[in-house]
Chain A
Amino acid sequence: MKVPILKQGDYLIASVQSVLTDLDLKQLHDDLVEKVGRFRSRGVIVDVTALDVMDSFAARMLRTIAHITKLRGAETVVVGIQPDVAFSMVQLGLMLDDVTTALDLEEGLAYLKQLVKGNSTKDD
């Protein structure tokens, strides 16, 4: 199922559905890279709350998305990794070391707001 992407102010929010194929992930990657440029977004949130399995391919794609959007000037935060999914990821050896994560959408947005604010006003 294609991942819907919402534009909210300076941010893009992608809400991953439970059934995520490799093709959906590649599509999400392409869509986000294009939309970050089109909407001049400063931040991207990938919400994986509904995702029931994160395997090595999905983790690698999320990492790639985070790296590429960063090169395009937008910070990516992955939010909503469920406890069971986190448990399996650690056993598998998927640490997502260099990707910013947050508990949920709210925390993710708060993080991005702070980041963008910090970048634009030095004396804040």
Chain B
Amino acid sequence: MIEKIIVNIGLESDIVTARQQGKKLAKHLDFSSSELTTIATAISELARNIVDYAGGGEIILKLIQQNGKQGIAIVARDNGPGIKDLELAMQDGYSTGKGLGLGLPGTKRLMDDFEIFSEIGKGTTIIVKKWRKQNAC
């Protein structure tokens, strides 16, 4: 079983590749179809951020385990300009670019865990996780 996939993000067509790969990997864990759509949507938003704001980067998709729980982690990493004000960037409706300003706060709502690290001039790394529901049947 493949447990880790790296998708280089440079062009807008890579966004579709990333979300397809993510969905394929997440299918190994019996996520519901609704959860698969949620994961693919989150990957799409993260990949688009890289294309729009950083010009390039990568999406790393990983199957993870923690305390008996299984899930998928998505790491979105770029060497772009970084985010000046993280608190502001996490607010609904705030956007410096062409989006709706829902990308980051929306992605946080879609996933279970959300971490963001950003350094001006160095880049941004966002790690999100979705855990498989334990009592799902």
Residue positions of A touching B, CB distance < 8 A: 19-23, 52-57, 59-60, 82-85, 87-89, 91-94
- 8 Å CB contacts to A: which residues of B40-73? 40-41, 44-45, 48
The reply to whether A91 and B40 form a contact with Cβ atoms under 8 Å apart is no
> In the complex, A88 Cα to B103 Cα: how many Å?
13
> In the complex, A92 Cα to B107 Cα: how many Å?
6
Residue positions of B touching A, CB distance < 8 A: 12-13, 15-16, 19-20, 23, 33-34, 36-38, 40-41, 44-45, 48, 92, 99-100, 102-103, 105-107, 109-110
The reply to whether B37 and A84 form a contact with Cβ atoms under 8 Å apart is yes
Q: Which of B15, B19, B40, B100 is the one whose CB lies under 8 Å from A94?
A: B100
Chain A nearest CB, measured from B83 CB (Å): 17
The reply to whether B41 and A92 form a contact with Cβ atoms under 8 Å apart is yes
Q: Which of A19, A85, A93 is the one whose CB lies under 8 Å from B37?
A: A85
The reply to whether A23 and B110 form a contact with Cβ atoms under 8 Å apart is no
Measured CB to CB, the nearest residue on chain B to A63 is B100
